[in-house]
């Protein structure tokens, strides 16, 4: 094997023996849009049977943790709301350490994001915001970008929930939150504080919830620049699946090298079941 060739998968299931937990991405790993990927239910059955802990950690903020747990359950997977962390979850933790309830926030994002902000006590405003929180909104308008731009020019802190320029759906790759952050950075010159992967907050939360150390866990995902890079930065092992954004030729050309590569979670379930 030459340095430019991707490592395809663990040669032996024993390579995974030391792992006790997984930080698992969703889009492109467990499903594409509303279509479950092969082996989804069995994958979680193997994790439960083997006593392996996990946290689903996603940059997708279009649902609450309970909403994502319900989506997994609709595909036959046993996932509880407390086993799900979104970039919104991490952003709320950040806000709560710096801004008291009642702080005015302007948010670009969908209903799940805004509902969670209000439930945490933050006031959603269009003027006088202390914070601009930006994520994917599939009904985004020019007016929304305009309001955010004016608030940032007025001195609001700029928080981006995640940098993903695209995300996988059953139709193909479509624009993601990174598109919104890029537009606002271009119009204001302000660089966002990114909370989601590949930054550390979500990994810290996941490890704390599992009660495990980084070296006991692997980050499982389909994106080299977020799931794999973020996990490596946080001290985790990394497993790339080729069922989402990253193609074999992308992996071959990338300087980011996961510890292991699997075709999909069905192959990974086979490996874990053989340990």
Cβ neighbour number for residue 12 with a 10 Å cutoff: 11
- The answer to whether the Cα torsion of 31, 37, 41, 44 is positive or negative is negative
The residue whose two tokens read 């606002």 is 184
Query: What are the pLDDT digits (tens) for 139-160?
Result: 999 999 999 999 999 999 999 9
Query: What are the pLDDT digits (tens) for 9-18?
Result: 444 678 898 9
Per-residue pLDDT at 265 exceeds 80: yes
Residue 171's pLDDT is: 87
- Mean local confidence (pLDDT), 230-239: 96
- In the chain, what is the greatest distance between 2 CA atoms, to the nearest angstrom? 58
Is 27 assigned a catalytic role? yes
Q: What are the structural domains, with CATH classification, of the chain? A: 13-59+198-273 (3.40.50.1000), 88-194 (3.40.50.1000)
User: Are 177 and 163 contacting, i.e. CB atoms less than 8 angstroms apart?
Assistant: yes
CA distances to 105, 106, 118, 152 from 121, rounded to whole Å, are 10, 13, 5, 22
Is 25 assigned a catalytic role? yes
Helix (H, G, I), strand (E, B) or coil at 122: coil
Closest-CA residue to 90 (of 44, 59, 53): 59
Per-residue pLDDT at 1 exceeds 70: no
Structure tokens at 47: 């994790």
Query: What are the pLDDT digits (tens) for 14-57?
Result: 889 899 999 999 999 999 989 999 999 999 999 999 999 999 99
Quick one: CA torsion of 199, 204, 206, 212, rounded to 10 degrees? 140
- Mean local confidence (pLDDT), 258-272: 94
């Amino acid at each position: 094997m030459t340095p430019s060739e991707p490592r395809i998968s663990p040669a032996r299931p024993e390579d995974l023996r030391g792992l006790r937990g997984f930080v698992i991405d969703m889009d492109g790993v467990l499903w594409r849009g509303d279509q479950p990927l092969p082996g989804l239910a069995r994958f979680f059955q193997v994790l439960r049977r083997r006593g392996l802990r996990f946290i689903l950690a996603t940059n997708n903020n279009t649902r609450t943790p309970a909403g994502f747990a319900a989506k997994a359950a609709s595909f036959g997977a046993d996932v509880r709301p407390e086993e799900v962390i979104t970039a919104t979850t991490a952003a709320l933790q950040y806000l709560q350490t710096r801004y008291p309830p009642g702080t005015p926030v302007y948010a670009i994002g969908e209903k799940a994001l805004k509902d969670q902000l209000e439930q945490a006590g933050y006031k959603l405003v269009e003027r006088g915001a202390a914070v601009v929180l930006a994520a994917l909104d599939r009904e985004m308008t020019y007016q929304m970008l305009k309001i955010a731009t004016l608030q940032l020019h007025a001195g609001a802190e700029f928080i981006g929930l995640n940098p993903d320029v695209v995300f996988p759906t059953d139709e193909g790759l479509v624009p993601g939150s990174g598109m919104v952050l890029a537009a606002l950075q271009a119009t204001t010159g302000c660089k966002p504080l990114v909370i989601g992967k590949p930054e550390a907050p979500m990994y810290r939360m996941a490890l704390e919830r599992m009660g495990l150390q980084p070296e006991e866990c692997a980050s499982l995902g389909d994106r080299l620049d977020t799931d794999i890079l973020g996990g490596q930065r946080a001290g985790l092992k990394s497993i790339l699946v080729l069922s989402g954004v990253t193609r074999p030729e992308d992996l071959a050309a990338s300087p980011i090298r996961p510890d292991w590569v699997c075709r999909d979670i069905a192959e990974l379930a086979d490996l874990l079941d053989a340990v």
